[in-house]
Amino acid sequence: MKKMNIVNAYTTPDEWKERARKIPAGRTGTAAVKSLSPIKAAAVAAIAIGIGAGGFLILHTSNDEMIPPYEPAPTQVSDPDARKELTIKQKISAYYPKSNDYAVTKLFDQYNNKNCCTKLTDMTGCPESFSDMLKGDLGRIKAGELNEISAECDGYILSDKKISLLIRLDNTGTSVDTKDIARMFSTYVSVVDSQTGTQVEKQVEVTSYEGFMAQFLRVDITLGKELMMRFNELTVDTHILLTDKGLDTVITDDEAGQYSGRYHYDIRIRQAYADKSEKNDSYDTVSAYLSNRSALYPIDQNAAYQLTGCYYSGGAARYITRTPEFHIPDDSDLTDKAVLRQAENNSQKSYVKSVDIDCDGIITDGVNMYALFRETSVSLGMVENLNSDLIIKAYLKDTGEEISLLGTPETFEVSTEGLSRMIIRLRPDNILSGRTVQLHIISGSGDYGEQSYHYMFEISIPETSAAEEKSAQKIFASATEGTKLLSSSMGMMITGCDALISQKEEEARAAVSPALMYIEGEELSSGSYDLDGQYKGVVSDEALTTDRDVCRLYRVRSADGGTAGYYISYNSPDNNVYSIHFFDEDI
Amino acid sequence: MGENSINETFQSAIDEYSDMVTRICIVSLGNMIDAQEAYLNCFESLYMQLKKKPPDDTGKWLAKVAYNECKSMLRFKLKHKFVSIDDITMPFDTAQESELIQIVFSLPEKYRNVLHLYVNVGYSTREIAEITGQKESTVRSQLKRARERLKKELEKGG
């Protein structure tokens, strides 16, 4: 690795040092403007224009008062005891909808009719994608490059008049830069009333934002009429088209026919399956599924619908959120829009009403968790400032153990438009099912202290219910006799794909089995995962080195509810995701 | 700590740690313009910190601030003017050296960061974990992958 020493060839330019040495004489433009009155700020702006964009601006005001820095409050998140003192902004409980046998049966009918299967190739156990890989003559872009982009619908949100899709376009290779993805595609949406076959009037707004290895896309479809009140069934047909107009661009019906090659998502929402849940909690349930051109994929068999918005996710997500409850101290005169803030003198807690962060909801499969947050600001510019140096931490409430967030800078993503939404994805080492997660969002003042605005959200994730187990048994029982039907502990199913299973089995034996070590009944150790409470495994490469970041082990249940085998998905060092199924005889 | 003493400490820190901060910023951000901004922000933060309480280990404190500053800038780079790696002023004379630095920069940001902190700055994995706010096992894993990638790229380049 001596080659890395090449970096040492970089030395600090003298000009930089000179500018740094002047720091005690005054602060930089950005920081100083924050403290100036509007008139002074305007004057400063005028001076800045006079100096020109290339010049480095050192500002001096007549009194040159320094902005009193926020006092750091380092114990707020680093000390478990200190965390107990914090006020909880919102408590969020996940909700597990009742299963709907009828919907499940219908899904399986469709499965069997199509003789298709879900593909268990994603690291989280979700179906690989709800998309087809682009094929055929794609013109400007090489097919090889397109093969390095996969699209996946992380889930969608229904509200009274709006459907929001969360899509990620992953860059799995090296020849396409992530930022290029945003330029390669555009978005097209049509909404059709399934009964009449007529297009429904809609307004589409698309926001894309760049992650480290992915472009995230949020498609907000607003309907003129209330979503579920006026239609028995809607098909929301969304295409990511290969154009060079940019992901944020919404293509019209007329233009759509001009482009070939696309990722395609259908969301079908049926009023016919609506059912009141047992609890009188205003939840209606509807059945929904996602499909693409070649195969049908199940979403939750029976997803809940909630006027204030909730999340659905492809395949794996089985919990959705209740309306968040606000918990504000009784002795406070605050409204639920207030935000806990550490006071500048660090001696007492105070609140500001200029910035607000709310949790819109979560998606969780009991292992991973996505949480969507929305920021609003009363005073202009505050949201941008807030986003400039957010610190996000997550802990398990019972043990205080910190949970890692999905890598940098995918830890959270902020839309470019209004900087008002972000998605935080946790990457836990252990299952979250049955645990309570405390998520802290802290805005530092720029010097990375844990200070300033401090939001804490408590998110309870229920255990997989007995009802779900029972439902799973029914699913197995309903399978066609003689067809291999397997389910991972993530709720994924494979059916009608004996050839694929055999192939995977062969691959498993050839590629993984010789180096596979299996440990049962031992404590978790580095390199092992325990996803279902009973099985632990380690995947090793040929050198018998392990990497706990890269593998997940799932138990595969057989039709009688026993263990048919195991399923591993893992990341290779070259960042490709592989999955291997292996069965009892492999162990 | 008096004003004079703060100034002296601050100026010595610039002399002592400028190159380290510069390299972290360049390795993270991949371009000189953003790196300069991050560098200055780091020393501004240091000055503010010195007025409150001098850090126990100024080098490590600056490394952490530099890492976080760059991370923050990367998160919001859509708001910043993008400068291609090709636009970096290369202080190298030979094509071979230029090619080598391109290979280093072809590593994902998180990998080249930890590799730089480990190989060039000389921090241990535990210290890097503190600086980057990651688990030590994650840092080790990233180091392993970074090495593998770099090795692969170097082999590819002959």
Q: Does A55 touch chain B (CB under 8 A)?
A: no
Q: Tell me the whole-structure pTM to 2 decimals.
A: 0.30
The residue assigned the tokens 């008062």 is A65
- Partner-chain contact A446 B147, CB within 8 Å: no
Neighbour-count burial for B67-83, b at 16+ CB within 10 Å, e otherwise: bbbbbbbbbbbeeeeeb
Arch. (CATH architecture) of B1-84? Orthogonal Bundle (1.10)
CATH number for B93-158: choose from 1.10.3980.10, 1.10.10.10, 3.40.50.300, 3.90.180.10.
Answer: 1.10.10.10
Q: Does A173 touch chain B (CB under 8 A)?
A: no
Helix (H) or strand (E) holding A284: strand A284-291
| A552, A529 Cβ separation under 8 angstroms | yes
DSSP conformational letter for A273: E
- Partner-chain contact B108 A19, CB within 8 Å: no
Q: Tell me the chain B residues in contact with residue A73 when contact means C-beta distances shorter than 8 Å.
A: none
DSSP conformational letter for A228: T
Chain A nearest-CA distance from B127, in A, is 17
Residues 1-40, chain B: which have Cβ within 8 Å of A? 6-7, 10-11, 14, 18-19, 21-23, 26-27, 36, 39-40
The residue assigned the tokens 């299967």 is A117
Q: Answer whether B1-84 and B93-158 agree in fold.
A: no
In angstroms, the CA A438 to CA A453 distance is 16
Chain B's closest residue to A411, CA to CA, is B75
Residues 6 or more apart whose Cβ sits within 8 Å of residue A80: A395, A400
Domain A75-93+323-460 has CATH 3.40.190.10: no
**Which of A97, A100, A96 is CA-nearest to residue A108?**
A100
User: In chain A, which segments carry CATH 2.60.40.10?
Assistant: 75-93+323-460
**Which of A391, A509, A505 is CA-nearest to residue A441?**
A391
Cβ neighbour number for residue B97 with a 10 Å cutoff: 14
Antiparallel, parallel or unpaired: β A90-95 and A325-326: antiparallel
Q: Which two tokens stand for residue A72?
A: 């750091």
Q: For chain B, which residues make up each domain, given as ranges?
A: 1-84, 93-158
In angstroms, the CA A256 to CA A477 distance is 44
Residues 6 or more apart whose Cβ sits within 8 Å of residue B141: A547, A548, A549, A550
Q: Tell me the chain A residues in contact with residue B72 when contact means C-beta distances shorter than 8 Å.
A: 388-389
Cβ neighbour number for residue A335 with a 10 Å cutoff: 11
Helix (H) or strand (E) holding A417: none
How much is the ipTM here? 0.70
Q: Tell me the chain B residues in contact with residue A448 when contact means C-beta distances shorter than 8 Å.
A: 45, 64-65, 68
Helix (H) or strand (E) holding B13: helix B3-29
Residue by residue, pLDDT tens for chain A (587 residues) are: 556 666 777 788 888 888 888 878 754 332 222 223 333 333 323 222 222 222 222 222 223 333 333 333 333 445 666 666 666 655 554 433 222 333 333 333 433 333 222 222 222 222 222 222 222 223 334 444 555 666 665 555 555 566 766 676 766 665 566 667 777 788 888 887 766 777 788 889 887 766 555 677 778 788 765 554 556 666 777 777 767 788 888 888 777 666 654 565 556 554 433 332 333 222 222 223 222 221 222 222 222 222 122 233 322 222 333 333 333 334 444 333 333 333 333 333 333 444 566 665 555 555 556 666 655 544 333 344 444 456 677 888 888 888 876 533 333 333 333 334 555 666 665 567 678 888 877 655 433 333 445 677 787 776 654 444 444 444 334 333 333 333 332 222 333 333 444 454 455 444 433 333 333 332 222 222 223 333 333 333 333 333 333 344 444 444 444 444 444 444 444 333 333 333 333 22
In angstroms, the CA A451 to CA A340 distance is 11
Q: Does A10 touch chain B (CB under 8 A)?
A: yes
Residues 6 or more apart whose Cβ sits within 8 Å of residue A70: A342, A344, A444, A445, A449, A451, A452
Chain B nearest-CA distance from A64, in A, is 15
- Strand partners of residue A164: A157, A220
Q: Does A9 touch chain B (CB under 8 A)?
A: yes
The per-residue DSSP string of B61-91 comes to HHHHHHHHHHHHHHHTGGGS----GGGS---
In angstroms, the CA A52 to CA A139 distance is 44
